[in-house]
Amino acid sequence: MTPLAAAANESLAEISNYLIYSSMAVYMLAFFAHIAEWTFGSRSKVGRTAAALTGVGADAAAAPAVQVRGKGGATAVLDRPKVTTRSAAGTRDVPDGPGAAGGTVQGDLYGRIAVSLTALAFLVEAAGVVARALSVQRAPWGNMYEFSITFSTVAVGAYLVLLALKKNVRWLGLILVTTVLLDLGIAVTWLYTDSDQLVPALHSYWLWIHVSTAIFCGAVFYIGAAGAVLYLFRDSYESQLEAGRTPGKFRTSVLERLPSAATLDKFSYRINAAVFPLWTFTIIAGAIWAGDAWGRYWGWDPKEVWSFVTWVAYACYLHARATAGWKGRKAAYLALFAFACWIWNYYGVNILLSGKHSYAGV
């Protein structure tokens, strides 16, 4: 490499670092905007009225009838609208909450600002990933730092795509932005590695195929796990109401705005089921790459073992739901265990265990 090319690559690496830090600053603004959305969408007068109209929370019983004024001053009284979700046999038919904005105009405004800032941060971070790739002239997935910044970019991208498809996922925004900031903070503080070339074993087009699908699967599994966590909280809240107990004001204000437990349960299941075939392909692609690079398709390397354990955990989760009728809390715990296996495979195996995949340190 000529000195001029080396200087250009170094400049691109610096630009990448600047863009990653800039995206963190914008994500922080989005974090505060999401906090404002939840705060101003709390139990205000407008929020209570919206809850009553849609039958959400404690105000549902006081829901007024809806009057429609027609021509000539005549009015027609209609039943209040009831929004319910399709739930499985034996589960509750509970309406979805009004969302993080709580049905308030001001909360919705801050929510839109938060989504706009999240989209801007996504673009800045994606530009940082591209600059990193240009600085090393390869796929930007050669170490844990590069994997982490790409992982958070894909997770936010998946969230924005779901929003663009008009899916009810804005409730995920605060959790997503918080974990993205945590991921990037760990990446720039403890995982940062200077731009460098790959070891010879990784010079293959399978890098683009295998690692890209692994990143995408992990990002989508994360969204499914977030849905499972929120399901557990919402299900507990609904159980308290069903038993006649009164949850605390803060707990009520937050949880009554989420989708129903049945909706969150189905959301998590559908996300995990949709990406599981791609995770299967990821493992197969890795085995083919291992055959080309190391002369064997499977060697019980720690990374290979835990990738397979993760596959088995998600397979058990999907099989239990499809055949044993596991839904609700048992299924959510199994889904979270499967995602914990994925997290351990990334952080624990890479940092604490050694094997053929320990080619780049962190």
Tell me phi and psi for residue 204, to 5 degrees.
-160, 150
Q: Which range is most confident: 30-34, 134-138, 253-257, 325-329?
A: 30-34
pLDDT at 229 over 50: yes
Share of the chain above pLDDT 70, in %: 82
For residues 302 and 207, give the distance between their C-alpha atoms in angstroms, rounded to a whole number. 19
Q: How confident is the model at residue 358 (pLDDT cuts 50, 70, 90)?
A: low
Residue 253 clears pLDDT 80, i.e. is over it = yes
Tell me how far apart the alpha carbons of residues 272 and 269 are, in angstroms, rounded to a whole number. Answer: 5
Q: Which of 260, 268, 241, 257 is nearest to 330 (CA)?
A: 268
pLDDT tens sequence across 286-316: 999 888 888 888 888 899 999 999 999 999 9
Locate 261 and state its tokens. Answer: 């437990």
Mean pLDDT of the chain: 85
Other Cβ atoms within 10 Å of 270 Cβ, number: 12
Is there a contact between 276 and 314 (Cβ–Cβ < 8 Å)? Answer: yes
pLDDT at position 1 is: 61
* 236 pLDDT more than 70: yes
Q: What is the mean pLDDT of residues 42-46?
A: 54
Query: Do residues 111 and 118 make contact, with C-beta atoms less than 8 angstroms apart?
Result: no
pLDDT tens digits, 174-197: 999 999 999 999 999 999 988 777
Total-model pTM? 0.85
pLDDT band at 169 (very low <50, low <70, confident <90, very high): very high
Helix locations, 41-73, DSSP H: 45-54
Which of 95, 117, 94, 114 has the alpha carbon at shortest distance from 39?
114
The whole-angstrom separation of Cα 199 and Cα 334 is: 37
Rounded-to-integer distance, Cα 346 and Cα 341, Å: 9
Distance CA 341, CA 307 (A): 8
Beta bridge partners of 78: 66
Handedness of CA 21, 135, 348, 218 (dihedral sign): positive
Q: How far apart are the first and last CA of the chain?
A: 25
Asked whether residue 348 carries a pLDDT value surpassing 60, the answer given is yes
Q: Are strands 75-78 and 66-69 parallel, antiparallel or unpaired?
A: antiparallel
- Alpha carbon distance 173, 100 (integer Å): 9
Provide the 10 A C-beta neighbour count for residue 128: 25
Tens-digit pLDDT profile for residues 64-103: 444 444 455 554 444 444 444 444 445 577 889 999 999 8
The residue assigned the tokens 């990933």 is 129
Which run of H or E residues covers position 293? helix 261-294
pLDDT of 345 > 70? The answer is yes
